[in-house]
Each structure stands twice: as structure tokens, then as C-alpha cells.
A and B are shown apart, each in its own frame.
Chain A
Amino acid sequence: MTSSGRVIGDVLLQVDNISLSFGGVRALTDVSFDIRQHEIGAIIGPNGAGKSSMLNCINGFYHPQAGTITYKGMARKQMRPHEAAAQGVARTFQNIALFKGMTVLDNIMTGRLLKMRQNFFMQALYWGPAQREEIKHREHVERIIDFLEIQAIRKMPAGRLPYGLQKRVELGRALAAEPDLLLLDEPMAGMNVEEKEDMCRFILDVNDEFGTTIVLIEHDMGVVMDISDRVVVLDYGRKIADGKPDDVRSDQRVIDAYLGVSH
């Protein structure tokens, strides 16, 4: 693992005037913001504010009707999820999308698939090298397992784990891809206080130890404000604030949005 320290760098991801609608429903309207290298950025907002839609646009599940997303200096309109993955975007899901029947180890190993030899069809023919490669990747995955302190559940089927641990395993699978940009969709939803604290520590440690840029979504403001460098606030699909946590916290429009003042 690289041991880059944490120095906020150039813009890694730039979102310009994104609009997305499903049929007549507008999910996002003219949203712009940027995320810099090694930064932890948060997108917050009340339920239904368009946070997940935003993440799905970045990751290629949705294709916005208008606007551009510039990632690593390349502007693009459309990108498929596995292409995004190939370019170093990894993510977790709000409702946990682990491979439930597979072990924790196998789940995290799938995160390495893109790091493996490119030709998908040839592997069976090159048993020796493939095996050496497998060992190399296994080693990497073991470091992640160690990092997330999930040694004890390595061989358990992911579907049988308690919720909090599933979230951790999903983070592990995303980390296995050594992403440049890590998207976390409500990483702390449904957790108790202790689990939330653990997850915060892991997020900070990931950012710190590997220098990974992180974009996370939360609807619970409290925790996010403590760990984020910058916060983008969405409400009804529009950006209503963008800045350092403290500035955002005192922004009247944010307070209104969270208190449910009608527009």
C-alpha cells in the first residue's frame, strides 16, 4: 500500500451543471461542485434531496441529461459503471450490495478483479502465472482485512453477517480496487453509535493512510461535519450550500432545509 500522506491537491472531480430527470421528475437541477485530491467531501441533504442520484451519476449508473462530469481532467457525458471502476472509482451502496452467498474473502477479492491480468479469457491457460498473481492479490486483500479488523469473519458468507460488519466488508471490497475516488453511499445509515464511531475511524484512516479521495453521502449531519473537509448541501435536487463544515452549519438556507421550512 502506498503511504502517501495527506496533502489536499488539485481538483480530481468536477461536476458542472448536472441535471437529471426521470420522466417528468427532476432529480438534480444544475448542480456544480468539485472535489480535490485527498479530500473528504460530503454530500448531505434531507431525504430525497438527490444525493444518491448524484453519486449514481458520478459512478455511471445514471446518465445526466445535461452537464458534464470531469474526472482526472477528462470531461465525459456518459460512462458505464465498469468503465468508471476501471478508472479508479469504487463505491459502496446504501442498501449494501455484497455478494451474499460468497465469503468475505471472496467478496473483497472481487474488488481486485480489475487489478488482475487484463485478458479475461486467457487465465485458464496460464495457470502458473495466474496462481502467482492470485497470491499477490490475496496478500493485498489480507492487508485490507487486517486494516478493517475483520480477520475473524474472513471465511463467513457475507449474507450472514450483522449489518454493521456487512458495511465494513463492502468498504473493504471497494478499497481492494485501490481506488482514486471512493464513493460511500450512507456508510453510517442504520448503525449504532459505536459502529458509527468505528466507521468514522476507518474512513479517516483510509483517507490518511492511502490518500484516497472520498465522497460520502449522509443525511445525518452530525457525524459528517466532524470528518469532512468540505460539504455540499443538496435540497430538492439543487445545491443550496457548499463549503467548510462550520460555514455550512451556520448557513441559514441549510438550517431551513433541515428544519423543513417550506419554499
Chain B
Amino acid sequence: MDWLFFTKVLIGGLLSGVMYSLVALGYVLIFKASGVFNFAQGALVLFAALTFVSIVEGFGSKAPGDLVFWIAMVLTLVAMVAVAIGTERFVLRPLVNQPLIVLFMATLGLNNFLEGAAQGIWGNDVHRLEIGISERPIDVLAALGLSATPSRAASTSGPPAASAPTAATAAAPAEEGTSPDDEEIKIEVVETGPVVAQSGLLVSQFDLFAAATAGLLVTSLALFFNYTRIGRALRAVADDHQAALSVGIPLQHVWAIVWAAAGLVALVAGLLWGSRLGVQFSLSLVVLKALPVLIVGGFTSIAGAIVGGLVIGATEKLAEVYVGPLIGGAIENWFPYAVATLFLLYRPQGLFGEKIIERV
């Protein structure tokens, strides 16, 4: 087994997993606070990305890029908060004390509304989104001062990045002397996954940036939830609505805050995914990848969303590379659902979810 290659696939998988986590996070927030699976989370992502990119394009080149970026960021954030407050006021508040299925249906409607609104306001063209982070890979080993010597690289880098198709094309060509059976593995190296160059492990800057952003977001959310009184109020509401009311927690404010937080997460996810896939309607479909993540990690845990994302990301890439060739390849797309199904069978609450104990 070639460990360097394995590591490279693993890291690629973990990094793309972070992107899934980002989307899953939005669901977790709202599920925690209201017990509802928010069908509209995908629409929120699309709405945020479209709003942002339209504002940027609206400025054109009238202002310096950095400034435009931040202005657009703030304006989009304001829009997301407005959406959150609107949702609470016009969708959730009238539905207080209704069964959860009613709330779920309401989010379905909200989903359609937001998708329609986003495209109605900003049009349905495909927009390019540039957030100024290069996809160019950097050598992690070198950066850590662990650069492998050429001779070692030659002896250890087994299956080369035969064709690193997308952004990571800077990868060095294959080493000579690669054994033929290695060639057979048709490696569809993940779009931006790390590639092994002569000098070692290459990882896309963008991926690192995305991971750092996600890490920062999760840390701040976790701190917010655990150490502020608003966070405490959020947890209280999530736990027991009636008790929360009786100690004087205004449910409406809490919901608005949760939706605003979900909007913020959607914005970040929208920007990162949008700059990779382009901002278009199909962006709202990235949420499909969040489902297995939620099932693996558990619907109620922020940590679960992260770990679930990493697990799904890593297993799907590893399966693609190591298992895929054995059964005809291209399993990356359905493999996460298979993992999720296993979890549903053996650990339905997910890795971090609360154990579901029905009292009889």
C-alpha cells in the first residue's frame, strides 16, 4: 500500500468533506432550535450566493475589488437577516404550536418562494464568482519543512496523479517507471484534491481556505452556543418550548436569531460552493450531499455535522479510488448514501446525535 498516495486521497476527501459540513451545519442549527428539517436550506444557499454575486456585478469595476467584496458581504448579510426575520414573522409565528409536519411543509413552501424570488430578482444566468483565493496547490510537506527528497519521492509515489483534470493541473506529470497495473487505476483525482508532485504533497489553497473558514465558523458557533446567554436561550428553546416560555425566553427572537445564523452559514457555503461550481440554480442541489452527512453525524450536533462531513468526504474519495475500479467505477456519487443507509440501520441517531429513547 502506498501511504503517500493514500494520504493524498484521504486529505482530498477530508477537504471536500469540509464543504459538505458547511451545508449540513445550516440544517443542524434550525433542527436543534425547532425540531424541523428545513427544506429551504438549499434555497438559502442559492439566495445568498445570487445576492452576493449580483451585488458584486452591479458595482462592476466602479470600486476596488476588496471594497466591493466587503460591501457585498455586508449587504448580503443584511438581506439574510431580513429573510430570517421575515421567515419568523410571516411563516413561523403564525404556526406556533402546530405539528412539526406543518412546519416542515412551510419550509417546503419557503424553499419554492426563495428560489423563485432569487431568480426573479437576480435572473437565472450562470454567474462566475471570484473570491480571490487561488486554486493553485501548495506543497504541504514543503511548507511544514518535511519536503521529501526526490529519491524518496521516486520510490514512494506509487500511483501518480495520472490526470489531474481540473484546477489542480499544476500537478507534475507522472514519474517514469510507474508500474503498469498502477496505470490501470483510472484515477479521477478529485477536482481539487492534493496531488503528489516530485516534491511531495500538494493541496489546493482554495481547499485549505475553505477548511479554515469552516473551522472558524464552527468554532465561533460552538462558542456562541455554549458560552453566551443567547446560546443558552437557544439551547433552552431547543430543549423544551413551554419551559422556555415560562422562564421568559421570547421564542420569536430566538427563532429569528437561529434563522439568521443559518442564513450566515448559507452565505458562507454559497460563496465557497459558488466560486467552485459557478452561481446557478443547481447550487441549491449541493444540499443533497448534506443529507448523508446529517445522517452520519446526527441531526442535532454541530460537531456531528463536521465529523459527518469529514467521514462522508473521506470515505467517498477512498471508495472511489480503492473500491471503485473493482466494481466498475464512479461510485462516488452513490457511496455516501450507502454509508448513510448503514448508519440508519445500526445507529439511527448518528455519531453525535441524541439517543432516541422512546419511553413506553
A110 and B246 contact, Cβ closer than 8 Å, known pairs A98-B240, A102-B239: no
Q: Please, how many angstroms separate the alpha-carbon atoms of A91 and B87 in the complex?
A: 31
A82 and B248 contact, Cβ closer than 8 Å, known pairs A101-B235, A113-B233: yes
Neighbouring B residues of A235 by C-beta, 8 Å: none
Of all chain A residues, the one with the shortest Cβ separation from B250 is: A82
A22 CB-CB contact with B under 8 Å? no
Q: Please, how many angstroms separate the alpha-carbon atoms of A120 and B232 in the complex?
A: 12
Interface 1/0 per residue, A76-116 and B, CB below 8 Å: 00001110011000110100011111100010011101101
Within 303-360 of B, Cβ neighbours of A (below 8 Å) are at 354
Question: Are B224 and A177 in contact, with the CB atoms below 8 A?
Answer: no
Question: Are A101 and B239 in contact, with the CB atoms below 8 A?
Answer: yes
Neighbouring A residues of B230 by C-beta, 8 Å: 120, 123-124
Q: Please, how many angstroms separate the alpha-carbon atoms of A85 and B242 in the complex?
A: 12
Interface 1/0 per residue, A121-165 and B, CB below 8 Å: 101100000100010000000000000000000000000000000
B interface bracket (residues with beta carbon within 8 Å of A): 20 to 34
B62 CB-CB contact with A under 8 Å? no
Question: Are B239 and A100 in contact, with the CB atoms below 8 A?
Answer: yes
A173 CB-CB contact with B under 8 Å? yes
Q: Please, how many angstroms separate the alpha-carbon atoms of A222 and B253 in the complex?
A: 43
A110 and B236 contact, Cβ closer than 8 Å, known pairs A81-B245, A82-B248: yes
- The size of the chain A interface, using a CB distance under 8 A, is 32
From the candidates B236, B245, B253, B354, name the one contacting A99 in the complex (CB within 8 A).
Answer: B236
Q: Please, how many angstroms separate the alpha-carbon atoms of A99 and B238 in the complex?
A: 9
Neighbouring B residues of A106 by C-beta, 8 Å: 232, 235
From the candidates A101, A110, A130, name the one contacting B228 in the complex (CB within 8 A).
Answer: A130
A86 and B248 contact, Cβ closer than 8 Å, known pairs A109-B229, A110-B233, A124-B230: yes
A113 and B246 contact, Cβ closer than 8 Å, known pairs A100-B239, A102-B235, A106-B235: no
Question: Are B239 and A120 in contact, with the CB atoms below 8 A?
Answer: no
Question: Are B224 and A110 in contact, with the CB atoms below 8 A?
Answer: no
From the candidates A97, A120, A124, name the one contacting B242 in the complex (CB within 8 A).
Answer: A97
A59 CB-CB contact with B under 8 Å? yes
Question: Are A123 and B229 in contact, with the CB atoms below 8 A?
Answer: yes
Question: Are B354 and A101 in contact, with the CB atoms below 8 A?
Answer: yes
Neighbouring B residues of A130 by C-beta, 8 Å: 228-229
Q: Please, how many angstroms separate the alpha-carbon atoms of A85 and B245 in the complex?
A: 8
From the candidates A80, A81, A90, A99, name the one contacting B235 in the complex (CB within 8 A).
Answer: A99
Neighbouring A residues of B244 by C-beta, 8 Å: 99, 110
Question: Are A97 and B246 in contact, with the CB atoms below 8 A?
Answer: yes
Of all chain B residues, the one with the shortest Cβ separation from A134 is: B229
Q: Please, how many angstroms separate the alpha-carbon atoms of A240 and B185 in the complex?
A: 87
Interface-central residue, A82, A93, A98, A106, by most chain B CB under 10 Å: A82
Q: Please, how many angstroms separate the alpha-carbon atoms of A111 and B244 in the complex?
A: 9
Of all chain B residues, the one with the shortest Cβ separation from A170 is: B243
Neighbouring B residues of A116 by C-beta, 8 Å: 229
Given pairs A120-B233, A123-B230, 15 additional interface contacts (CB within 8 A): A59-B246, A82-B249, A93-B242, A97-B246, A99-B243, A101-B238, A101-B239, A106-B235, A109-B232, A110-B236, A111-B247, A123-B229, A124-B228, A130-B228, A130-B229
Q: Name 30 interchain pairs, CB-CB below 8 A, sorted by A.
A: A80-B245, A81-B245, A81-B246, A82-B245, A82-B248, A82-B249, A86-B248, A90-B247, A91-B246, A93-B243, A97-B242, A98-B240, A98-B243, A99-B240, A102-B232, A102-B235, A102-B236, A106-B232, A110-B232, A110-B247, A113-B229, A113-B233, A116-B229, A120-B250, A120-B257, A121-B253, A123-B229, A124-B224, A124-B228, A134-B229
